Amino acid sequence: MTQTTLHTLADLKQSGEKITCLTAYDATHANLVSSNGIEVILIGDSLGMVCQGLSSTVPVSIDDMVYHTRCVSRGNQDSLLMADMPFMGCAIEEQAMVNATTLMQAGADVIKLEGGSWLCPIVKKLSERGVPSCLHLGLTPQTVSMLSGYRVQGRDAASASRMIEDACLLEQAGANILVLECVPTQLARDITEAVNIPVIGIGAGPDTDGQVLVLYDMLGMTAGKSPRFVKNFMAETASPQAAVTAFVSDVKEGRFPEAEHGFYSV
Ligand code: KIV
The residue type of 50 is V
CATH of the domain at 146: 3.20.20.60
266 in any annotated domain: no
Paired with 199 in beta bridges are: 178
Say if ligand 1 is within 6 A of residue 86 CB.
Answer: no
Q: Does a structural domain hold residue 147?
A: yes
Question: Which of 114, 181, 193, 260 is the catalytic position?
Answer: 181
Residue 265 has pLDDT above 80, yes or no: no
Buried b (16+ CB within 10 A) or exposed e, 193-229: eebebbbbbbbbbbbbbbbbbbbbbbbeebeeeebeb
pTM for this prediction:
0.97
Instruction: Say what the pLDDT of residue 224 is.
Output: 85
Quick check: CB of 42 below 6 Å from ligand 1? yes
Whether residue 109 contacts residue 82, with contact meaning beta carbons closer than 8 Å, is answered with yes
Q: What is the pLDDT of residues 194-252, one digit of tens each?
A: 999 999 999 999 999 999 999 999 999 988 888 999 999 999 999 999 999 999 999 99
- Residue 135 falls inside a structural domain: yes
> Does residue 1 belong to any structural domain of this protein?
no
Cα 251 from Cα 254, distance rounded (Å): 5
Does residue 1 have a pLDDT over 80?
no
pLDDT interval class at 148 (50, 70, 90): confident
CA of 180 to the centre of ligand 1 (A): 10
Q: What is the mean pLDDT of residues 137-145?
A: 95
Distance between start and end Cα atoms, the chain: 42
User: Which segments of the chain does DSSP mark as H helices, in order?
Assistant: 6-15, 27-34, 47-50, 62-75, 93-105, 120-128, 157-173, 185-194, 215-218, 240-252
The number of distinct structural domains making up the chain is: 1
Residue 266 has pLDDT above 80, yes or no: no
Is residue 181 annotated as a catalytic residue, yes or no? yes
Is there a domain that residue 53 lies in?
A: yes
How many Å separate Cα 3 from the centre of its chain? 19
Range of the domain at 35: 6-261
